[in-house]
Amino acid sequence: MSIENALHNKYSLVKGAARRARQLQSGAQPLTASKSMKACRVAQDEIRSGHVTFVVNHDPREIDKLDIEPEL
């Protein structure tokens, strides 16, 4: 699976798969056929096949430093 094409980093992939796995465990129907019955593996297969997408709200490299005022 090419992680860079679908997501910004591995952490985003894990977060997206975990969120989808929770949906599957809560009763959501799988969007693609999978050899596994485990929700986490089904979620990974759905992401790999392009049936599940999610939005990354920002590029972590573009986050500015927080303006923190020193306490006096």
Q: Do residues 56 and 13 lie in contact, with contact meaning Cβ atoms separated by under 8 Å?
A: no
Instruction: List the chain pLDDT tens, one digit each, 72 residues.
Output: 444 445 567 888 888 899 999 999 999 999 988 899 999 999 999 988 888 877 666 555 555 554 445 555
Please state the domain count of the chain: 1
The reported pLDDT for the residue numbered 2 is 43
The residue range of the domain holding 42 is 3-55
24 part of a folded domain: yes
64 part of a folded domain: no
The reported pLDDT for the residue numbered 7 is 57
- Return d(Cα 4, Cα 9) in angstroms, integer: 6
12 part of a folded domain: yes
69 part of a folded domain: no
Q: What are phi and psi of 31, to 5 degrees?
A: -90, -10
72 part of a folded domain: no
60 part of a folded domain: no
